[in-house]
A = this chain, B = another copy of it.
Amino acid sequence: MPPGAPRAAVVLSGNELLDGRTRDTNGHFVCDDLSRRGVKVMELLTVADDRDRLSATLRHALSGEPDLLVVGGGLGTTHDDLTAECLAEVLGVPLAENPEAMAYVEETSKAIAARRHLDVEATFALARRQAQLPAGATPVPPAGVAPGIAARAGNTRIYAYPGVPYEFQRMWLETAASLERDGFFPDVVVRMVRVFGVGELQVGPVLDALPHDRLELGINVGGGEVTVRLRHRREEAAQAQADALVAALEAGVPVYSTDGRTIDELVADELRSRAANMAVAESCTGGLLGARITARPGSSDYFAGGVISYSNQAKMDLLGTPPGVLAQYGAVSEEVAKAMAEGARAALRADYALSITGVAGPDGGTPEKPVGLVYLGCAGPGGTSVRRADFPGDRDTVRTFAATAALHLLRAGLSP
């Protein structure tokens, strides 16, 4: 982060986050969002539903004198919900019934009772506890049931929200919008440069060779790609450094996107702009590529469907792969990848078709065809191209990399 960025700490409470039941989503969400807004998150502290440890952790978070402290969880109706109480203790104030919070609680209690056919009075009685705020704090309007808490400790702005991800995330975004209006966030530019075909070891030296003291650089490696994030204040000197770095990356490594778009978005946009559609023929990925393409709303505009040709019989029956080709070259081969792609293009009546056939492992590898060997095919109006790849890693990694590499093969085929 550029020098002088505001600093934040995040505290989450909940036993379910610490016993393997639930993977955190709120912490990752708010850290990512803060980071995009130019705030440096110093700590993400997850603590059990325990009065002593929650108070100690809040105190510890405040000891770093962050500009912002975001708290998630512990605002429900049970005795495990300790956030208001612990915040009051740490701020050195009593808990007090807040009339504004009480109005929210009454309103949401009525709505819930109506929706779930519960007794209004009983529901409200249970929920009244949620209107107890540290004295001097103000309620944050609820996105679901419980109101949040806004408070101050020295220069630290404190916001607490319920832990339900939908509520937490919506309430944080509301707060962020109001902080934005107050000018709390620095004016920061974020640029993403996406690279496919080389690793971190090739990208790193390109970055190191140029000055970037006015930038915060983050390299991320995942799914077979390298992503470089450049962040800087909106100022000429930083902009110049960023422009030079992006240009050096484009000259030195296979950059495929500098405008933020992922390979999935690029392929979708390109197909849409040509009014073309595509199909898939998947063997070792078993539907993963199709699932990924159709994860995007509106994908029926350009995705016809596909064949999961897991067995050789399916390759022959549904894709017309010649039995002789399968027998001669084996299912994991350049020839079968080509036949699968062409077969899917014909069977689905699509403009383009991608095929994937490989050894995902952990079993099934041989010295000639080891685990990680994958052939990718792309059939289109101009012909068929096939690529061989050797992916490292476990079954999941090989399958994910294969799907990504297939999309890149299509993009290459779609390029003018």
Chain B nearest Cβ from A306, distance in angstroms? 4
Whether the Cβ atoms of B299 and A286 lie closer than 8 Å is yes
Whether the Cβ atoms of B43 and A57 lie closer than 8 Å is yes
Partner of A53, one of B1, B43, B47, B220: B43
**Is A381 an interface residue, CB under 8 A from the partner?**
no
**Chain copies in the assembly?**
2
Shortest Cβ distance from A231 into B: residue: B19
Q: Give Cα A56–Cα B142 distance, bound, in whole angstroms.
A: 34
Chain B nearest Cβ from A262, distance in angstroms? 15
Whether the Cβ atoms of A310 and B317 lie closer than 8 Å is no
Q: With a CB–CB cut-off of 8 A, which chain B residues contact A309?
A: 305
A residues 13-67 near B (Cβ < 8 Å) are: 15-24, 27-28, 31-33, 35-36, 40-48, 50, 52-53, 56-57, 60, 63-64
A280-B287, A304-B314 are known contacts. Are A395 and B361 too (CB-CB below 8 A)? no
Q: With a CB–CB cut-off of 8 A, which chain B residues contact A399?
A: 291, 295
**Is A311 an interface residue, CB under 8 A from the partner?**
yes
Whether the Cβ atoms of A306 and B287 lie closer than 8 Å is yes
Q: Give Cα A52–Cα B60 distance, bound, in whole angstroms.
A: 12
Q: With a CB–CB cut-off of 8 A, which chain B residues contact A15?
A: 218
Whether the Cβ atoms of A286 and B293 lie closer than 8 Å is yes
Q: Give Cα A92–Cα B396 distance, bound, in whole angstroms.
A: 44
Chain B nearest Cβ from A370, distance in angstroms? 15
Whether the Cβ atoms of B45 and A45 lie closer than 8 Å is yes
Whether the Cβ atoms of A18 and B41 lie closer than 8 Å is yes
Q: Give Cα A353–Cα B202 distance, bound, in whole angstroms.
A: 47
Q: Give Cα A24–Cα B42 distance, bound, in whole angstroms.
A: 15
Chain B nearest Cβ from A144, distance in angstroms? 14
Shortest Cβ distance from A15 into B: residue: B218
Write the A290-303 contact mask toward B (1 if CB under 8 angstroms, else 0): 11111101111001
Whether the Cβ atoms of A47 and B42 lie closer than 8 Å is yes
**Is A112 an interface residue, CB under 8 A from the partner?**
no
Whether the Cβ atoms of B21 and A229 lie closer than 8 Å is yes
**Is A101 an interface residue, CB under 8 A from the partner?**
no
Q: With a CB–CB cut-off of 8 A, which chain B residues contact A60?
A: 56-57, 60
Chain B nearest Cβ from A354, distance in angstroms? 12
Shortest Cβ distance from A363 into B: residue: B297
Q: With a CB–CB cut-off of 8 A, which chain B residues contact A23?
A: 28
Q: Give Cα A47–Cα B8 distance, bound, in whole angstroms.
A: 11
Whether the Cβ atoms of A20 and B35 lie closer than 8 Å is yes
Chain B nearest Cβ from A116, distance in angstroms? 8
Q: Give Cα A50–Cα B300 distance, bound, in whole angstroms.
A: 48
Q: Give Cα A313–Cα B347 distance, bound, in whole angstroms.
A: 10
4 closest Cβ pairs, A-B complex: A286-B294, A287-B290, A20-B32, A287-B287
List 9 A-B residue pairs with CB atoms under 8 Å apart, sorted by A's residue number: A17-B31, A21-B229, A42-B50, A56-B60, A286-B299, A295-B399, A297-B362, A308-B308, A317-B348
